[in-house]
Amino acid sequence: MRARVAVFEALKASAPSGFNQELRHLFLNEGADFDLADLDMDSLAIMEFCIAIELSTGVTLLPAQVAELGSTGAIECRIREALDEATG
């Protein structure tokens, strides 16, 4: 859950126009997975996203990794894996 909340908070900060109220509801309440390309994030927004993830979880994601992962679900998975590695 920590990874999902971190992605949610990062999206609120970095893509406020693309991550609208309806998408927020789907993400939090329905478990929806979104392609980041559909959220109108430019390079600055992606950098803000990466910074927000690192500040909230300690997991470093580079913009190239975010582009490669491509979706909120894949990013959540990467965060969970990194957190598991750090604690295990």
Q: What is the pLDDT of residues 68-79, one digit of tens each?
A: 999 999 999 999
Domain assignments of the chain as residue spans, ordered by start: 2-87
Cα Rg, the chain, nearest whole Å: 12
3-state DSSP percent of the chain in helix, strand and coil, to 5: 75, 0, 25
pTM for the full predicted model: 0.89
Supply the pLDDT for residue 16: 84
Q: pLDDT tens digits for 12-47?
A: 999 888 888 888 889 988 999 999 988 889 999 999
- The CA distance from 11 to 59, in Å, is 16
CA gap 4, 75 in Å, rounded? 9
